[in-house]
C-alpha cells in the first residue's frame, strides 16, 4: 500500500492499525543536535488521546510514546527516529458483526474494492488512531522550529455545527485554547459547543465543524513554485487527516465577495524599516511562498461516520440491511483534532524549511 509517507526532506512514515499491536512512525531528515525527550512528545499526544473528557471517545489509551532510535544522550543524531505507542484498550470483537457490512461514509467499501480485502477491526489503517503517529512527528518539528526560528503553531475549534466564535485569531493564545474541553478560546461560545456535542452524543448522532490553524513568525521564502506551493502542501497535509472535507487559506471562500481593490494586500514599510502588508487576505502566502505575515487557514471536519442511529446500507453480498453501529466513538472529532492540525502544519513547514536551505542563489 503506497501513500504512507509525507514530505520530501523531512519525511514522516506512519504504521499501525487501530486494534493492532501498536501505532507509530519513522521520521527521517530531522537535523542532529535537537534536544528531545519522550515527555516533550507526550504533551501533544495527551491532547489527542481518547478518553480525555466527557465529549470524547471513552476508549482508554495511555498513548505512551517510546523513542526507539535516532536519539542518543537526549539529542537527535540525524538518523531515522522511530517512535511507537502500544495499543492497550483494544476490543476487536466489537467489530465482529461488521466484517461483512459496508458502513455508510466509511472506508470499508472503497478499501475492499481497491485492495481485495480490508481490516474490519476498527477500520485498520483508515482509522483516525493513525494520527497518533502524526502528532508524535509533529511534536519534533514544532520543537525544532520554535527553538531555531521562533515559529509557533496554534489551532483551535472555531465552529461546531452552526455555533461559531468570531474571536480574532491574532488575539488567541495556547493558554486560552486549553482552558476548556472543546478547545475553543471563546469561553461563552465554548459552553454552547459543549452542550451541543453532549446532546448530539445522547441522541446517538455526530456533528462536524471547523478548526482554525495559525502559524506565527514563519520566515519569508518558504514554498516552491507551481506544484509545490506552500499553500498547496498545507492543503494536502490537512486534507489527508481523517474526516477532513474542506480547506481554505487566508480569505478563502469569503474572498469571492470582494473586489480586487479590497482584497489586494498593499505593501508598506513599518517603523523598523521592515516591508509588511497592510492587510493579510493572502493568509501569509503569496505566489505559493510565505511573505512573513501570519499564516492562517481553516479546516472543515465532517460529522463522525459511526453513529448509533439506524442507517440503510448493504452487506458484501449486496443485500440491503439496516445498521445501528456500536463501539466507542467521538460524537465530534474537533477537540482531539486540534493537535493533529498543529502537527501536520509543523511537519509541512519543517519540510519546506529544510528545502529552503538547499536553494542555490543565481
Contact call for residues 142 and 179 (beta carbons, < 8 A): no
Listed range (110-124, 180-194, 229-243, 283-297) with the worst mean pLDDT:
110-124
Contact call for residues 51 and 61 (beta carbons, < 8 A): yes
Hunting for cell 492562517 — which residue is that? Answer: 296
Contact call for residues 314 and 321 (beta carbons, < 8 A): yes
With 80 as the cut, is the pLDDT of residue 60 above it? no
With 80 as the cut, is the pLDDT of residue 90 above it? no
- Average of pLDDT values for 25-34? 98
What pTM does this model have?
0.95
pLDDT score of 120: 79
Confidence category of residue 207, pLDDT binned at 50, 70, 90: very high
**Rounded distance, CA 206 to CA 214, Å?**
26
pLDDT score of 20: 83
Domains of the chain (ranges; CATH) run: 5-356 (3.60.150.10)
pLDDT score of 306: 87
**Rounded distance, CA 362 to CA 359, Å?**
9
Listed range (33-42, 104-113, 257-266) with the worst mean pLDDT:
104-113
Torsion of CA 202, 204, 205, 206, to 10 degrees: 70
pLDDT score of 359: 63
Dmax over CA atoms of the chain, in Å, equals 71
pLDDT score of 361: 56
**C-alpha cell of residue 23:** 501505532
With 70 as the cut, is the pLDDT of residue 199 above it? yes
pLDDT score of 58: 80
pLDDT score of 197: 97
With 80 as the cut, is the pLDDT of residue 262 above it? yes
- Rounded (5°) CA angle 215-219-224: 95
In this predicted model, what pLDDT tens digit does every residue of 107-165 receive, in sequence order?
A: 889 988 998 888 877 777 888 999 999 999 999 999 999 999 999 999 999 999 999 99
**Rounded distance, CA 134 to CA 339, Å?**
9
**Rounded distance, CA 71 to CA 140, Å?**
11
pLDDT score of 118: 83
Q: What average pLDDT is seen over the chain?
A: 93
Contact call for residues 295 and 283 (beta carbons, < 8 A): yes
With 80 as the cut, is the pLDDT of residue 358 above it? no
Torsion of CA 233, 239, 240, 241, to 10 degrees: 130
Determine the 3-state secondary structure of 329 from DSSP. coil
pLDDT score of 1: 55
pLDDT score of 96: 73
Contact call for residues 145 and 208 (beta carbons, < 8 A): no
**Rounded distance, CA 51 to CA 207, Å?**
18
With 60 as the cut, is the pLDDT of residue 168 above it? yes
Beta pairing, strands 244-249 & 81-86: unpaired
pLDDT above 70 covers a percentage of the chain that reads 96
Give the residue ranges of DSSP H helices in the chain. 38-48, 108-115, 131-149, 174-177, 187-202, 230-239, 260-263, 334-356
With 90 as the cut, is the pLDDT of residue 325 above it? no
Amino acid at each position: 500500500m503506497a501513500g504512507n509517507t509525507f514530505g520530501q526532506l523531512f519525511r514522516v512514515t506512519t504504521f499501525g492499525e487501530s486494534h493492532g499491536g501498536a501505532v507509530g512512525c519513522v521520521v527521517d531528515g530531522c537535523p542532529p543536535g535537537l534536544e528531545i525527550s519522550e515527555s516533550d512528545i507526550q504533551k501533544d499526544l495527551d491532547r489527542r488521546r481518547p478518553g480525555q473528557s466527557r465529549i470524547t471517545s471513552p476508549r482508554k489509551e495511555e498513548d505512551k510514546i517510546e523513542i526507539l532510535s535516532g536519539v542518543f544522550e537526549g539529542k537527535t543524531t540525524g538518523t531515522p527516529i522511530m517512535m511507537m505507542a502500544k495499543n492497550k484498550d483494544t476490543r476487536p470483537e466489537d467489530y465482529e458483526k461488521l466484517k461483512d457490512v459496508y458502513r455508510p461514509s466509511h472506508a470499508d467499501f472503497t478499501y475492499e474494492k481497491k485492495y481485495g480485502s480490508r481490516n474490519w477491526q476498527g477500520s485498520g489503517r483508515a482509522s483516525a488512531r493513525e494520527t497518533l503517529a502524526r502528532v508524535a512527528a509533529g511534536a519534533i518539528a514544532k520543537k525544532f522550529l520554535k527553538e531555531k526560528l521562533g515559529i509557533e503553531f496554534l489551532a483551535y475549534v472555531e465552529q461546531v455545527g452552526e455555533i461559531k466564535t468570531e474571536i480574532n485569531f491574532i488575539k488567541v493564545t495556547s493558554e486560552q485554547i486549553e482552558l476548556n474541553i472543546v478547545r475553543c478560546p471563546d469561553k461563552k461560545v465554548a459552553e454552547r459547543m459543549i452542550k451541543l456535542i453532549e446532546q448530539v452524543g445522547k441522541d446517538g448522532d455526530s456533528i462536524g465543524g471547523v478548526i482554525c490553524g495559525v502559524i506565527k513568525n514563519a520566515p519569508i521564502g518558504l514554498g516552491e513554485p507551481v506544484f509545490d506551493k506552500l499553500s498547496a502542501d498545507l492543503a494536502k497535509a490537512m486534507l489527508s487527516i481523517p474526516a477532513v472535507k474542506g480547506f481554505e487559506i487566508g480569505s478563502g471562500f469569503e474572498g469571492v465577495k470582494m473586489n480586487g481593490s479590497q482584497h489586494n494586500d498593499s505593501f508598506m514599510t513599518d517603523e523598523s524599516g521592515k516591508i509588511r502588508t497592510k492587510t493579510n487576505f493572502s493568509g501569509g502566502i503569496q505566489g505559493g511562498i510565505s511573505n512573513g505575515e501570519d499564516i492562517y487557514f481553516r479546516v472543515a471536519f465532517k460529522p463522525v461516520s459511526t453513529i448509533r442511529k439506524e442507517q440503510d446500507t448493504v452487506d458484501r453480498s449486496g443485500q440491503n440491511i439496516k445498521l445501528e453501529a456500536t463501539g466507542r466513538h467521538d460524537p465530534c472529532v474537533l477537540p482531539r483534532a486540534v493537535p493533529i492540525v498543529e502537527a501536520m502544519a509543523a511537519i509541512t513547514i519543517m519540510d519546506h524549511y529544510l528545502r529552503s536551505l538547499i536553494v542555490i542563489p543565481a
